[in-house]
Structure 1
């Protein structure tokens, strides 16, 4: 598993959390228990299996909702 911290542009509404969590949670290879959207920091914290899904695919799922990804940091868990 790898841990990722994805920095987004500023989130403006609490319902954004549910939209992002819902979309990322549906992806294969995501550790659903680790998924956390940090509203005040505008970050998404998640663990994922890099043999199933890439960080780029996770970013794309978020961007497809209309949220801009500023950057991502990945480290081996």
Structure 2
């Protein structure tokens, strides 16, 4: 299991949280996704054999939230 934190542009509404978390938590290979509203970050845990960081980043961007950086651990 791998972890990644995505830094987004500033989030402006609480509904952004639900939109991102719902999409990622329904994504195959993503075990956990949590949005930190005040810091505009998305913490994830995922199975790297099922999904790549770039795919998670793409899903977030497709929702309309540009990813500024990704930190993998």
TM range (shorter): over 0.9
Unaligned runs of 5+ in 1: none
Number of positions where the alignment pairs a residue of Structure 1 with one of Structure 2: 73
Aligned twin of 2:66: 68
Give how far 1:26 is off: 1.4
Aligned twin of 2:25: 25
Q: Decide which of 34, 37, 40 is 1:36's aligned counterpart.
A: 34
Aligned twin of 2:43: 45
Structure having the larger proportion of residues in helix = 2
Provide the aligned C-alpha RMSD in A: 0.7
Unaligned runs of 5+ in 2: none
Q: TM-score, normalised by structure 2?
A: 0.96
